[in-house]
């Protein structure tokens, strides 16, 4: 009986110990994502001195940016305000009314132009 008790105590002691001679390594830090810094995902600035900057869409988007409107920011896929406006105008299906937007005094008024 005493021998059985000794064997049981030894088994409990062995099972309570961590297996393996080495401790688990600490978790590795997650590598940085290219999207960690908003500037990394920012599109290239639009050229300042060509015909595209004189287009109604470029003027409307510059005005939206000056007003601080969210519509002036790039889309989640990276399209600029000017690109979105130009595509809408070229479609002939929908218009963003860039001439109206360029004259709006506030963001809510600009949104009503569409």
What's the token pair of residue 31? 């590598």
Residue 89 contacts residue 98 (beta carbons within 8 Å): yes
CA-only gyration radius of the chain, Å:
32
Percentage of residues of the chain with pLDDT beyond 90: 42
What's the token pair of residue 105? 């005094």
pLDDT higher than 60, residue 48? no
> What's CA 106's distance to the chain center, in Å?
26
Give pLDDT tens digits for 2-33: 777 778 777 766 666 655 566 777 888 877 76
In the prediction, which pLDDT does 63 show?
93
What's the token pair of residue 18? 């961590």
């Amino acid at each position: 009986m005493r021998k059985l008790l000794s064997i049981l105590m030894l088994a409990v002691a062995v099972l309570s110990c961590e297996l393996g001679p080495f401790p688990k390594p600490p978790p590795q830090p997650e590598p940085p994502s290219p999207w960690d810094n908003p500037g990394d995902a920012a599109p290239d600035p639009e050229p300042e001195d060509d015909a595209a900057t004189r287009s109604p869409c470029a003027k409307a988007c510059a005005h939206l940016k000056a007003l601080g409107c969210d519509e002036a920011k790039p889309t989640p896929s990276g399209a600029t305000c000017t690109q979105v406006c130009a595509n809408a105008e070229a479609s002939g299906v929908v218009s963003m009314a860039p001439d109206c937007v360029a004259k709006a005094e506030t963001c809510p008024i600009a949104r009503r132009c569409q």
